Amino acid sequence: MARILLGLTGSVASIKAPELYGILSRQGHQVRAVATRRACHFFDPAALGSEPGAPPGAGTRDPDICTLDEDEWPAPSDGSKRWNRGDEVLHIRLRNWADLLLVAPLDANTLAKLALGMCDNCLTSIWRAWDRSKPCLIAPAMNTLMWEHPATARHLALLLQDTGHPIPPNIRREEIFHLLERGINGLRMASPEHRKLACGDEGMGAMASLETIKLLVEKLLPASQTA
């Protein structure tokens, strides 16, 4: 079985984090999550790995299950936790541990950061430092007009370029989506779906179903890690 690093970002779809974590774990995979600060607005990090049906706030977060930015960058007022030469670099340790990086949901803000190479939190630092010989799966989730905004296709095209795939200057957005859905050089996308969104709008932008994400994870992993 594989070691899966689950990136969680500030989309409403992060409410499904405990369920997705459970699905992947029941497949026999080792799963660790890395959540952005805004992702934690939609789920309780302590719920990952807890017993199904446990009431919210019933437990405490296990940093070996769900990593937050504060684990890599403790408050500067706590001098005992200041980094010293020889200490580990957490985002590098997580990068080395994982066989696959799954960012589900990938919100518009984090997509923009990844496309531009920004690394201002633990998750984006992992992406920037990722070993490109290992697969990545992204599952965008955002408001319909955000998904249809020209920046979305532009940023996805930049992610494709970063894999070494040439992008024609006049490529259509549908072609970009098709390439990512098919998978290019270890990068694949679980495309969003047309549904009524949490904000009340209806259209494209809802995160792919958890079943779809599970199946794509299995396809990206070597047979030896899925048997």
Known catalytic residues?
199
> Could you tell me the maximum CA-CA distance found in the chain, to the nearest angstrom?
54
SS3 annotation, 159-202? HHHHCCCCCCCCCCHHHHHHHHHHCECCEEECCCEEEECCCCCE
Residues 6+ apart with CB under 8 A from 95: 5, 126, 129, 130, 131
The C-alpha angle 129, 133, 134, rounded to 5 degrees, equals: 80
Query: Under a CB-based contact definition with an 8 Å cutoff, are residues 215 and 195 in contact?
Result: no
Query: Under a CB-based contact definition with an 8 Å cutoff, are residues 205 and 192 in contact?
Result: yes
CA 54 centroid distance within chain:
24
